[in-house]
Structure 1
């Protein structure tokens, strides 16, 4: 186990008394010390050649956050792939809710090692049962056709309130989620559904970035973007109906990403998502990540379980 992984296991919440932790406007820990804890959580312990082990933050909700298990599984896959091959796509299924109080074991299956592409399959296991399954494809860098969607016209992130400032009046409404340490800084462009309470456009636009400096490791930045991609995506479904968590019981069912161009997760990216359909207790959302200079860097598709709460 590396030093950062040992630190994560010993202090996974990132609230060590030895390191001063800055507080956001709403009193929630954020900044570099909290981001360092997230980076440490992605530095998995290698148990065997193809087996890895990860932990969850001490301050976790009832289930393991989907973005965390997706990011850790992608790290496990990437640790078995040559460094000159970057991940270009992942497809995953959330099978069972993960227990944040116990470690997660990641078993990697080396499906294929080709001349240009490498394929890996990862199963995350707790108590002998699969909780998550991921397939990821890695590719040598190549030249080819190049085009991408244009970024929507939105305000610059610096002109928008910080997330701590934005949620300060609504902490009680948001409940325990609003009090968790915050390694990712958000700046809302569109009004989130928990604030409007009225049906509107099935769209969500949020600026995001890791709240601090991230080491220069391409796989780490990709895994952090995978973590971020699960944070607000289903808001586009909920916004259409003017409901939020508490009005519906929800969970991610499957998640797919395609990575198009290089980026840094510690620089601002725009997450633009919309929902084309919701039916049968499920909602579908499409997301696009744009870099600050307008390049399309990743595409996301997720279907989530969304069951109305019977009052």
Structure 2
């Protein structure tokens, strides 16, 4: 059973991301208990559910327990156990503090009585900063704007498939050929599909932003090091890419994603994009490709979001994100992310640390 209560049909008056993130309150048990209304998405090949869903639903639950004039400004999250898409999730909101200017909530997401995800959130009352303010923000870098296309346009990707709730357009990695991974920046435009309903209010846009913030995040470490992304992304059992070298070259020359996706169903658009972003030197020979380091394990440990201008953006309009990794080592990696509106207003700063372990070669002496 994937949900505690049979899910209703999707509400056509709401955007897909609103339906995905909808919660059912359990007031007969406890008014601070909620559960997922619809099944959770389990990314192919991942160890558990998409982490952004747990982040966003915890936020959605907490937002329903604070006064309407209080708005989220920060949340600090930990991924404790892999979420199981076949089991309902129970979200328990704890009221930690009710202050005049700030309110604090913790939320635990549980399955089978065990916490799989936990977060502490702080909300601030509107206008609490006063009329005179200290203000500054990092300016958005100059980048090509998003390309407006129809749903089948080549520029737009659907990271979670044709029924996924958001879309993205990648921009080439800045400084991609630099020998210093920390100088590279992974960039994309993202937005929720459809139109978020007026009834959802600013809360729906914040939850949607939280959901999308986990996209293309810890994987930045793999991208700036030009590693194979997954333990088995498009590879034959012998460890070499299942795509022939000539096909790879043709892919890079012709940019024909649809053909390659049909020919190699084990791949997805993100894997193909990663191949395109790899330097030509890594794809010159089969030997170089075969020796390319491979990710053995990559999973998020924690996730922090600082919300700026939280009532002054729309998640169903294009949002620009830029990610870089200041450090990696000891089997972990750290990634920083900034998010701006299309007009250049900074709306969020995010931080994520995750396990990033290479697939180890077997010692021939053993």
Same fold? TM cut 0.5: yes
CA contact (8 A) 1:162 1:187 kept: no
Q: CA 1:178–1:229 in 2, change beyond 3 Å: closer, same or farther?
A: closer
Cross-structure match for 2:306: 258
Q: How far apart are 1:280 and its partner, in Å?
A: 1.0
Q: CA 1:125–1:257 in 2, change beyond 3 Å: closer, same or farther?
A: same
Q: How far apart are 1:55 and its partner, in Å?
A: 4.7
Kindly tell me the number of residue pairs found equivalent between the two proteins.
277
Say which of 193, 199, 202 aligns to 1:218: 202
Q: How far apart are 1:136 and its partner, in Å?
A: 0.5
* CA deviation profile, 1:197-227 (whole Å, cap 9, x unmatched): x986532110011111002311111111111
Cross-structure match for 2:115: 130
Cross-structure match for 2:170: 188
1:89 aligns with 2:89: no
Map 1:192-211 → 2, pairs under 5 A: 201-211=183-193
CA contact (8 A) 2:40 2:49 kept: no
Map 1:134-283 → 2, pairs under 5 A: 134-142=119-127, 143=130, 144-158=133-147, 165=154, 179=161, 181-191=163-173, 201-216=183-198, 217-243=201-227, 244-246=229-231, 247-248=294-295, 249-261=297-309, 262-283=312-333
Structure 2: any 5+ residue segments left out of the alignment? Answer: 232-293, 362-366
Q: How far apart are 1:241 and its partner, in Å?
A: 1.0
Q: Kindly report structure 1 stretches of 4+ aligned residues shifted beyond 6 Å.
A: 159-164
Q: How far apart are 1:57 and its partner, in Å?
A: 3.6
Give the structure with the larger strand fraction.
1
What secondary structure does 2:147 align onto?
helix
- TM-score, normalising length: structure 1: 0.80
Bigger radius of gyration? 2
CA contact (8 A) 1:202 1:237 kept: no
Q: CA 1:165–1:305 in 2, change beyond 3 Å: closer, same or farther?
A: same
Cross-structure match for 1:113: 98
- TM-score, normalising length: structure 2: 0.69
Q: How far apart are 1:37 and its partner, in Å?
A: 4.0
Q: How far apart are 1:238 and its partner, in Å?
A: 1.3
Cross-structure match for 1:294: 344
Structure 1: any 5+ residue segments left out of the alignment? Answer: 20-31, 172-176
Q: How far apart are 1:178 and its partner, in Å?
A: 6.3
What secondary structure does 2:327 align onto?
strand
CA contact (8 A) 2:16 2:193 kept: no
What secondary structure does 1:237 align onto?
helix
Q: CA 1:291–1:96 in 2, change beyond 3 Å: closer, same or farther?
A: same
Residues of 2 paired with 1:165 and 1:266: CA distance? 19
Residues of 2 paired with 1:279 and 1:56: CA distance? 38
What secondary structure does 2:15 align onto?
helix
Residues of 1 paired with 2:358 and 2:351: CA distance? 22
Give the root-mean-square deviation of aligned CA atoms: 3.0
* CA deviation profile, 1:58-90 (whole Å, cap 9, x unmatched): 663351110000000011111110111010100
